Amino acid sequence: MKRCFVIGNGPSLSKTPLIHLQKEVTFATNRINRIYKLTDWRPTYYVRTEELLGDYDTFHKDVKENLMQVTRGFLPKDWAKWYGEFSNIEYISTCSHHKANFNEIFAPHEWHLPQYCSFGSSLNVAIQIAVQKGFDVIYLLGVDLDYKDQKTSHFYDDDEEELARRVKAKYANYNMLLAHMIAARNSPIPIYNASIGGVLEVYPRINLEEILCQ
């Protein structure tokens, strides 16, 4: 069975033994580079498709640091003007659904492959890429779905303040929940949540130790 892990940036990631994934195919997103100082593990693939927010210099620094660590990165086509020096990028076609909220008419209710749906977050695009790449099963890690106002919602402390100003925690949770419901309904392959804790219950739960013993 051809399996992969899609890894989010939830607080539970700091409790996840990523070192055991060294020989696994892994997709990671956004600011995953913030955990590199704590582990020798590095993802196979890096995905970032969310719009630029806040400090652009920090945004680009994070993306470039990740691109230097992975086999391949997946970025939107219109970002080529910023990362042309990297040869390991696959530029992909995404939609503008990342601008929508769950309760708007513009919000999606289905995937629309081959164009990747950007609703929810980069993690949901990573799930779609894994499906398109022919994997047989996807396991999620660090996907907590537990955004909180005025508190860290990631494994690192410095949350993206611009996002916090634009979207209240409960709406961020609703958006992500809808994105995962769409994924659970549309994915032709099984998706399991192996995150340590969190509140995402759209997918069946499984323990990481059980997966690694298979």
The answer on pLDDT for 55 being more than 90 is: no
pLDDT in tens, 165-194: 456 777 788 899 999 999 999 999 999 999
CB 123 within 8 A of CB 181: no
Quickly state the pLDDT bin for 69 (edges 50, 70, 90).
Answer: very high
> Cis peptide before 108, with omega less than 30 degrees from 0?
no
Give the per-residue pLDDT at 135.
98
pLDDT in tens, 76-129: 999 999 998 999 999 999 988 888 888 888 889 999 999 999 998 999 999 999
pLDDT in tens, 2-11: 999 999 999 9
**Helix ranges, 55-145 (H):** 56-67, 122-132
CA 133 to chain centroid: 16
Per-residue exposure over 57-76, b if at least 16 CB sit within 10 Å of its own CB, e if not: eebeebbeebbeebebbbbb
Quickly state the pLDDT bin for 159 (edges 50, 70, 90).
Answer: low
- Give dist(CA 42, CA 39) in Å, integer: 8
Give the per-residue pLDDT at 74.
98
**3-class DSSP state of 76:** strand
CB 72 within 8 A of CB 92: no
- Give dist(CA 195, CA 205) in Å, integer: 8
Give the per-residue pLDDT at 167.
62
Give the per-residue pLDDT at 181.
97
64 contacts: CB under 8 Å, gap ≥ 6: 83, 86
Give the per-residue pLDDT at 53.
66
Q: Six-digit token pair at 97?
A: 């659904």
Please, what sign has the CA dihedral across residues 213, 46, 50, 130? negative
- Give dist(CA 11, CA 14) in Å, integer: 6
Quickly state the pLDDT bin for 54 (edges 50, 70, 90).
Answer: low
Give the per-residue pLDDT at 35.
95
The answer on pLDDT for 51 being more than 80 is: no
Give the per-residue pLDDT at 3.
97
pLDDT in tens, 130-150: 999 999 999 999 999 987 777
